[in-house]
Structure 1
């Protein structure tokens, strides 16, 4: 579809439908919300015209009250603002549902990045065999996390699900009823979800979206690429799972919770098999076959409902194979495809559904190891070096009882003990990785290796990959040296041999961007991957990169297909693996059509990279030097901003940062460590990036980029930057993703801050860099407006920004009242918190 065609189709399927259903929405008799639909357009118009005229949010909201209402008291006014927020929240759900329902019409099976398009291209370029070969050495893994960027409670998620179906069927009656339900359904959790609640929320998607999506996509791959001597591996599409296993900074994730979540994952996949088998048995009603399948159905039922009953993937497969044999020998293989599809699902999902990862911060492990050394060695911690500690933990044979310890040490040891039991029930694919946040030294990996030894595992029984996560600038710089030392260490070398000489390494885009700024973080990670590829190849290790990417570009998100398709041959490409969270789960993988399309985009990006030649993927020495120069200049600019005395206090006092922790959306605290003064390094990436987003400033997604380009322009070298943009897919992707961040920025909202005595100068620094970056990016790309090449995303952003503009006015109005210490502080703080929800949900098209 051409740009203009796409725009027209979007206009018909999304924009027009939203107008129609929104009018239906406006007439619904909500509790105390009868006239909101009439008042909202006035607040929007006041906001739009007001910001263009340089008015503050306070002036805009006060004028709205005086012109369009007769409200006199503060209580009446805040009550109206609460109702408007509730109304807009529901408008966002309606818009989400309409956009989701239009997805299949706006995207074709033969779009760039789909399996069919990959096959066509491979055929035309005589690369079918090369594509099949790559499929043998490639997989994608999407790892679902519980990070709190999703504000819809489960009840609303389900309405969204049903609303999308009703919109697809154009059923006005059903839409009307669902909108009424939506009007009366609370959008707030009464209390913070537990890690188990978070896990169950995502397991809902596993059962009702991904079980079928991944099964059908695998079938499509088979049908497209299989030959008599080649079938794609069932592990080509995998799922990972963090809720209940990720204890980094989350005191509520305990060893017991991890066990419970592993059990829920196992029971959920068995329930999916049980339901699937029912459909298979309806067709395979033949003598001999039906008896075997009935028996399997009983076995699955027992494994779900009887604690003592157990079933392995091998048990299920042997029954299917028994049925298969009878079907082929006695019944001409009738309906064999149904049995084959079921068998493929069991091979894909085992008894684990998704692989549950363990993650903890390296500093916590050090604390645990120190306590063990202190208790068991008699050594004085103050007098021994890091090397002596390592020597002790790797060469001392002690067997520890968790009950001899308390707190985090006890729980960490219990968790390691439980891994064996989880692997027995869920299979080794159910849990096989231990991830260490904030890694920057070999001790961070070896401490975890030692914990297994202390919990009674013989070295050959440690069936776990130990995965360092390099996320700060220091960690990324140290990565190569850390891995070199590990690869050379005999005890770790043996461990890797037992793990098939494969090493997974995780890289943190979110914290990297927070730490180093947008351009520097992305370039640093690119270079680190190159160094780690080189060192791993030298030692004969197959390295797999796991990217901690968030939704928005400022957290490493953005257009993921373009990003992965732009990595050259200097970076190992055995697997594309990334974290997905919050609204990105809903917006990118939230229903079967979207999930299938986006899984395909990831899969083909990695395969294209190896199979098709493209000079724009490989950086020349000249391009590399220029990228390095731009990254360093932007890093300097971003570092100066971070060092500004107003940096942290600006976020604390002028943004929503302090309010993230009070929302009942996630079980994890918003900062590492407890109490004390807020330090930059303790800030979590999500509230950090989210607060900039709520201010509509999106600083981590562009700051320093424009400055770096201007520096080269001042030297008369802007043509070099233009050549880099034209010649490097990687740099082009960074520019376009940064544009997305800027397109969602709106500085007129906060322009009142320029007059603020304390923060005026700081605000001006941000605004100037935004203007500089925007003008230079437009000049660089030749675009007339941001995101010109992506009409669908551009139009979606435009409509969403329009929906939330009144919400932003309310949020800023409330923040100003709090800063001025005027009126009922409690009511204004609640307004700030409530407005967080709609703003975040409306930004869902961020990956």
Structure 2
């Protein structure tokens, strides 16, 4: 049987279907303006031709109205633009659903990187025993975060799911109904979601996707790779940030954390109940039926009321099911043994916590909270904190903090809400461990971690407040900026040489989780330097940890687009050499990455298998060790691009350009996340206050994608000018890591479209700055094509490129409308029109509304 090339499968199963269903979709009247579906293709064509002719967005919109809608008044024109926005948002949903439906056809579910392929390869190479041994210690943890890079409300996610199913079965009447529903369902959130709302929307994925895909993967490994029904290392597990991530989010309170933990427990109990209910219909034999009915009743009551006295622990539940399985095997010819096993496996993986709730807070907040606590204790005459604590050196403070244990702290003595909430949160961790099991909440991440003292302040607070005898929480420093990454090994050595901290690590299995953040790294150091900085930090941290017999577990804070550590993530993990610890792969998954890579059973299973096999590949195949010569080139490229990016970031027009020419300030108005869009309350925009998501997102809305390529071209050009381009070619051919980096950068370039903002090049104030960006884009594109030998970007990924092209084409009118509105606002600014002017408000609303479709269409950046 011959398999069509991936691009052909994409064209037949995605592109053709989109064209057919879109033509049906365009004929549906959604509101009073019935002609929207007829006019949108005309507007789309006007945009396409206009940009090809070098027209600016204002000219394009004006041309369209003159040519096709000359009789419309101003108000009616604006109304039509809003209707276009609504239609385009829904076209993006339609394309999402069609791509989801075609996922198992376009992607080979048994091809390279899948478990079946891994098993067959290991078999043919006589490495099955090695594979089994590896799977006993390897783990993948995906951590769902509430970072707002997608905004679909739950109702729309439900429609996408139903539409995907209807498209799979070509059910036209159901598709028609769903189109109608889509037309009438609001996409826009009038108020910001609460952190609890965010948790609820992500628990939807736990219940509807991960419960099943995790189970299937575990069952496959158990029956096909181990060929037994024994309990093994759970291999995949899941972390959860909504309700626990306080960094920059004042709305996450201790009771939010407790509420989310209860919801997670209730959700998993409901899933177990559903499985027990279906088992009850099958296990109708003597000596088994009564026991299953009893379990079903207990779990049902427990899921309805977590405080019921008639409860059962997860261990007791497992023991009873194992005993039932034994009876079935011995007395009933193993009937339905597989189904019993599947439930046992799920309980082994999810227990009563479902997902591990991580707590996260900024080191600067901890420092201020801890200072208040120390002052309080000194005032009370503490045994463990001396009165001259604040005058001591950092090393002396660390020594004191490592030895403290429980202190009698009166939470109500603190007027500062942040101090009270931080202490209450530590208490909440203890409470969650008591109800959901230790894995319910056993990690506390310190973002912006700079020193060993940052770690020891939290270490001491945990012990003082709730964990004096037995600290069952891992303290996880997060290193983000280029400087912090460079200092990380020294910080960890300081901790490893502290006897009390080392004793804690011994209790935790001699494992230290270290988090490294891509988003802020890119924002701080540019694309190449951030990725190389993290790679080098991992090498040095591995070496440092091994020196003290500690296993470093790296947890990567990755975003969706390549600029934030996204892109082809599994390729990164399979490209790491022997110098980087690889016992576990841990990464954050957020926003559109959740829905695009893990939103359906097929995509979830496929991408989880890719992550599992990427780590294993790194272990079982030839290692990608960088030669000394290649390291010098890589380092030099990173340093050059870092300098170029720093100069660019320091340009006097950098902040004004983002503030006045981009959509940056409109992110806060979209109500897609509970967090504020910048860290301080100041009206003045300061670079360090900028969050990575609005920062990267604003460049993406401008279709300039600066954080994904800036500095790469200049760095490569330096080698070309020196006549040493062959050195870069050698690095590219030798290093899978470098190759993956550049392929992801190509994705950023592919999604750039400078014709959209070309009009800015003539702007008196910003023209020169725009030209700096455009020149770097052209240089990078030209030299990446030269290096790879491609004739066009992403030539090696034709189906990925085709998907991007369709999505970019869908949102082209949306981007045009957004730029048109931004230009109008800039003109009103120049005229000194007040902020509360009605016309201005309308254009601002257009900008805000147009953000959504663009954000969601970027789904394949994940």
TM-score interval, smaller chain: over 0.9
Cα distance change, pair 231–788 in 1 and its aligned pair in 2 (3 A): farther
Whether 1:549 and 2:558 are equivalent positions in the alignment is: yes
Query: In 1, distance between residues paired with 2:802 and 2:35?
Result: 28
Any conservation in 2 of the 1:234–1:344 contact (CA below 8 Å)? no
Query: In 2, distance between residues paired with 1:314 and 1:838?
Result: 47
Cα shift at 1:232: 7.1
In structure 2, runs of 5+ residues without a counterpart are 380-386, 832-837
Q: Indicate the residue corresponding to 1:768 in structure 2.
A: 775
Whether 1:421 and 2:431 are equivalent positions in the alignment is: yes
Cα shift at 1:518: 0.4
Query: In 1, distance between residues paired with 2:194 and 2:113?
Result: 38
Query: In 2, distance between residues paired with 1:602 and 1:709?
Result: 31
Whether 1:594 and 2:595 are equivalent positions in the alignment is: no
Any conservation in 1 of the 2:209–2:601 contact (CA below 8 Å)? yes
Cα shift at 1:301: 1.5
Query: In 2, distance between residues paired with 1:60 and 1:805?
Result: 12
Q: Indicate the residue corresponding to 1:173 in structure 2.
A: 173
Query: In 1, distance between residues paired with 2:550 and 2:2?
Result: 45
Query: In 1, distance between residues paired with 2:198 and 2:803?
Result: 28
Cα shift at 1:125: 2.0
Query: In 1, distance between residues paired with 2:515 and 2:63?
Result: 51
Q: Indicate the residue corresponding to 1:824 in structure 2.
A: 839
Q: Indicate the residue corresponding to 1:535 in structure 2.
A: 544
In structure 1, runs of 5+ residues without a counterpart are none
Q: TM-score, normalised by structure 2?
A: 0.96
> What's the CA shift string for 1:294-342, capped at 9, x where partnerless?
1111111221122422432112112212312322232222211111111
Q: Indicate the residue corresponding to 1:21 in structure 2.
A: 21
Any conservation in 1 of the 2:760–2:767 contact (CA below 8 Å)? yes
Q: Indicate the residue corresponding to 1:565 in structure 2.
A: 574
Cα distance change, pair 66–193 in 1 and its aligned pair in 2 (3 A): same
Query: In 2, distance between residues paired with 1:405 and 1:733?
Result: 50
Query: In 1, distance between residues paired with 2:676 and 2:239?
Result: 23
| Aligned pairs (5 A) from 1:275-290 | 275-290=274-289
Q: Indicate the residue corresponding to 1:141 in structure 2.
A: 141
Cα shift at 1:545: 0.3
> What's the CA shift string for 1:494-520, capped at 9, x where partnerless?
110111110000000111011100000
Query: In 2, distance between residues paired with 1:771 and 1:747?
Result: 10
Cα distance change, pair 227–171 in 1 and its aligned pair in 2 (3 A): closer
Q: Indicate the residue corresponding to 2:246 in structure 1.
A: 247
Alignment size in residue pairs = 843
Cα shift at 1:666: 0.4
> What's the CA shift string for 1:597-640, capped at 9, x where partnerless?
000000000001001125xx211111111100000000000000
Cα shift at 1:376: 2.1
> What's the CA shift string for 1:414-457, capped at 9, x where partnerless?
01011111011111111110000001100111111111122142
| Aligned pairs (5 A) from 1:431-470 | 431-458=441-468, 460-470=469-479
Query: In 2, distance between residues paired with 1:568 and 1:103?
Result: 31
Cα shift at 1:544: 0.4
SS of match in other structure, 1:789: coil
* Counterpart pick for 1:683 among 681, 684, 690: 690
Q: Indicate the residue corresponding to 1:163 in structure 2.
A: 163
Query: In 2, distance between residues paired with 1:5 and 1:576?
Result: 31
Query: In 1, distance between residues paired with 2:366 and 2:91?
Result: 46
* Counterpart pick for 1:696 among 684, 698, 703: 703
Any conservation in 1 of the 2:426–2:466 contact (CA below 8 Å)? no
Q: Indicate the residue corresponding to 1:49 in structure 2.
A: 49
Query: In 2, distance between residues paired with 1:109 and 1:152?
Result: 27
Any conservation in 2 of the 1:351–1:427 contact (CA below 8 Å)? yes
Query: In 1, distance between residues paired with 2:716 and 2:52?
Result: 29
Q: Indicate the residue corresponding to 2:757 in structure 1.
A: 750
SS of match in other structure, 1:235: coil
Query: In 2, distance between residues paired with 1:469 and 1:797?
Result: 33
Cα shift at 1:128: 1.4
Query: In 1, distance between residues paired with 2:159 and 2:522?
Result: 35
Q: Indicate the residue corresponding to 1:211 in structure 2.
A: 211
Any conservation in 1 of the 2:404–2:463 contact (CA below 8 Å)? no
Q: Indicate the residue corresponding to 1:607 in structure 2.
A: 616
- Of 382-391 and 4-13, more deviation after overlay is shown by 382-391
Cα distance change, pair 255–36 in 1 and its aligned pair in 2 (3 A): same
Any conservation in 2 of the 1:141–1:577 contact (CA below 8 Å)? yes
SS of match in other structure, 2:587: strand
Whether 1:370 and 2:371 are equivalent positions in the alignment is: yes
| Aligned pairs (5 A) from 1:724-735 | 724-735=731-742
Query: In 2, distance between residues paired with 1:231 and 1:113?
Result: 25
Q: Indicate the residue corresponding to 1:296 in structure 2.
A: 295
Q: Indicate the residue corresponding to 1:105 in structure 2.
A: 105
Query: In 2, distance between residues paired with 1:396 and 1:527?
Result: 34
> What's the CA shift string for 1:724-780, capped at 9, x where partnerless?
111110110001000000000000100100111111111000000000000000010
> What's the CA shift string for 1:524-565, capped at 9, x where partnerless?
100000000000000000110000001100000010121111
Any conservation in 2 of the 1:265–1:354 contact (CA below 8 Å)? yes
Cα shift at 1:462: 1.1
Q: Indicate the residue corresponding to 1:472 in structure 2.
A: 481
> What's the CA shift string for 1:258-301, capped at 9, x where partnerless?
00000000000000000111111111111121111111111112
Query: In 2, distance between residues paired with 1:773 and 1:668?
Result: 34
Cα shift at 1:389: 4.2
Cα distance change, pair 307–817 in 1 and its aligned pair in 2 (3 A): same
Q: Indicate the residue corresponding to 1:648 in structure 2.
A: 655
Q: Indicate the residue corresponding to 1:61 in structure 2.
A: 61
Query: In 2, distance between residues paired with 1:30 and 1:611?
Result: 56
Q: Indicate the residue corresponding to 1:336 in structure 2.
A: 337
Query: In 1, distance between residues paired with 2:454 and 2:106?
Result: 47
| Aligned pairs (5 A) from 1:253-268 | 253-268=252-267
Any conservation in 2 of the 1:523–1:631 contact (CA below 8 Å)? yes
Cα shift at 1:116: 0.9
Q: Indicate the residue corresponding to 1:791 in structure 2.
A: 798
Cα shift at 1:391: 4.7
Query: In 1, distance between residues paired with 2:684 and 2:819?
Result: 25
Cα shift at 1:37: 1.4
Cα shift at 1:399: 2.1
Query: In 2, distance between residues paired with 1:674 and 1:695?
Result: 25
Q: Indicate the residue corresponding to 2:304 in structure 1.
A: 305
SS of match in other structure, 2:669: coil
Q: Indicate the residue corresponding to 1:489 in structure 2.
A: 498
Whether 1:833 and 2:845 are equivalent positions in the alignment is: no
- Of 408-417 and 114-123, more deviation after overlay is shown by 114-123
| Aligned pairs (5 A) from 1:600-639 | 600-614=609-623, 617-639=624-646
> What's the CA shift string for 1:110-144, capped at 9, x where partnerless?
21111111112112222111111111120101100
Cα shift at 1:177: 0.5
Query: In 2, distance between residues paired with 1:389 and 1:540?
Result: 26
Cα shift at 1:381: 8.1
Query: In 1, distance between residues paired with 2:155 and 2:466?
Result: 44
- Of 105-114 and 637-646, more deviation after overlay is shown by 105-114
Whether 1:803 and 2:810 are equivalent positions in the alignment is: yes
SS of match in other structure, 2:50: helix
> What's the CA shift string for 1:13-43, capped at 9, x where partnerless?
1111111111110111211242111111222
Q: Indicate the residue corresponding to 1:190 in structure 2.
A: 190
Cα distance change, pair 236–71 in 1 and its aligned pair in 2 (3 A): farther
Query: In 1, distance between residues paired with 2:708 and 2:519?
Result: 11
Any conservation in 1 of the 2:147–2:590 contact (CA below 8 Å)? yes
Query: In 2, distance between residues paired with 1:447 and 1:162?
Result: 49
Any conservation in 2 of the 1:557–1:846 contact (CA below 8 Å)? yes
User: Which 4+ residue blocks in structure 1 deviate beyond 6 angstroms?
Assistant: 1-4
Q: Indicate the residue corresponding to 1:81 in structure 2.
A: 81
Cα shift at 1:395: 4.5
Cα shift at 1:723: 1.2
Query: In 2, distance between residues paired with 1:235 and 1:682?
Result: 40
SS of match in other structure, 1:70: coil
